[in-house]
Amino acid sequence: MHLQPLVDYFNDRFATEHHSNIRPFTIKIDLVSGIFGPIQISSVFESVRQTHDNEKLVGHIAQISVTPYTHNQPSEQLIEIGNLLTEVITQPADFQSIINLDRLCRTVHMLNYLNYSENGGVLFLDVDPRHILGVQQGHGAYFEESIIKCGLATQNVVISMAINNFYALHHTQLLDGLNNYRQRSYQIALNIGSLYVADGIREIITKLSADFLRINAPDTATNQYSDMSWPETLKPLTELQNIQGGKTILQQVKNEKQADIAASAKFDLVQGDYYDKLITDHLRCL
């Protein structure tokens, strides 16, 4: 699919919605970027594979690639962008700015994903919990138009939300928003960045019955846990997710020890440099 007509369409849409002459989407050598204040955002896609058959690709996780944008911007806007990109949850950030940034990132990812979509599988897209809290109703409706325009379908898109103890306190509003996405045929994933918050969010895991539960691989090099205790720590989460009818992903796997943990704790899916290197080395030997 030719990207330039789609880039033009989304720039026109942005200009109309914001009553502005700004055209934030650009394309260079088949790579789409989005301009947001002093930064330029593009996409990196990370492969999600089956744990026991690493050659079988299940989908991709979209991550943002951020580079400075050369045009000068007011210092106030630099501060705002810094607030939006930080993970500090107590920051005073404007909900509408978060929503705008989230929408821009997802549009960039959808356009860049068109070169990968022929491989099949699903696309995991991160959504800021503050976006879900900031939209009162109709979650996913705006983005659904973008997906359809790109010739894709919502059932192949996984809306992934990071969860921690703070956001678990707002689980009722978050559940309502995520279920709105689900009603539009999106799949849902919960993303746990740290195992130290896992005990506090078992309730939201149970109530949401997410299609996927994403968990970061433990740092086996520096963490106090022994290699033998990690599967015991992770198994309650994988078992809980299996009871809910969903799949588990151990992500950011970088070494063989972490890969062994994924297998021992019975994760369904995996992602990380370790597996990408295995596949690359295997292809070189063919």
What CATH number does the domain containing 224 carry?
Answer: 3.20.20.450
d(CA 232, CA 29): 47
Residue 209 domain-assigned (yes or no): yes
Residue 279 domain-assigned (yes or no): yes
184-212 average pLDDT score: 82
237-241 average pLDDT score: 91
- Strand segments, DSSP code E, in the chain are 25-28, 31-36, 39-50, 53-68, 122-127, 157-162, 187-192, 212-216, 247-251, 269-270
Q: Determine the residue type at 128.
A: D
* Closest residue by Cα to residue 176 from 164, 165, 194, 188: 188
d(CA 11, CA 32): 12
Q: Is the pLDDT of residue 96 over 90?
A: no
d(CA 251, CA 46): 10
pLDDT at residue number 78: 47
Residue 83 domain-assigned (yes or no): no
Domain count, the chain: 1
**pLDDT tier for residue 137 given thresholds of 50, 70 and 90:** confident
pLDDT at residue number 88: 38
pLDDT at residue number 284: 63
Residue 4 domain-assigned (yes or no): no
Residue 72 domain-assigned (yes or no): no
pLDDT at residue number 199: 60
* Closest residue by Cα to residue 208 from 269, 260, 132, 280: 132
Residue 177 domain-assigned (yes or no): yes
- Domain containing 56: what range? 46-62+102-285
d(CA 175, CA 177): 5
> What are 162-178's pLDDT values in tens digits?
887 666 667 788 888 88
pLDDT at residue number 190: 93
Q: For residue 233, what are the CA distances in angstroms to 74, 195, 260, 264?
A: 48, 9, 14, 11
**pLDDT tier for residue 94 given thresholds of 50, 70 and 90:** low
pLDDT at residue number 87: 41
The number of beta carbons lying within 10 Å of the beta carbon of residue 148 is 11
- Residue 258, both tokens: 């972490």
> What are 138-159's pLDDT values in tens digits?
788 888 988 998 889 999 999 9
Q: Is the pLDDT of residue 14 over 90?
A: no
Q: Is the pLDDT of residue 161 over 80?
A: yes
Residue 273 domain-assigned (yes or no): yes
142 or 190, greater pLDDT: 190
**pLDDT tier for residue 208 given thresholds of 50, 70 and 90:** confident
Task: Please give the share of the chain, as a percent, with pLDDT higher than 90.
Answer: 45
* Closest residue by Cα to residue 31 from 115, 105, 101: 115
> What are 47-90's pLDDT values in tens digits?
999 999 999 999 999 999 998 886 655 555 445 544 544 443 44
Mean per-residue pLDDT over the chain, rounded: 83
pLDDT at residue number 50: 96
- Residue 181, both tokens: 């996405």
Strand 31-36, strand 25-28: pairing: antiparallel
Residue 82 domain-assigned (yes or no): no
- Residue 234, both tokens: 């992770």
d(CA 189, CA 211): 6
pLDDT at residue number 163: 81
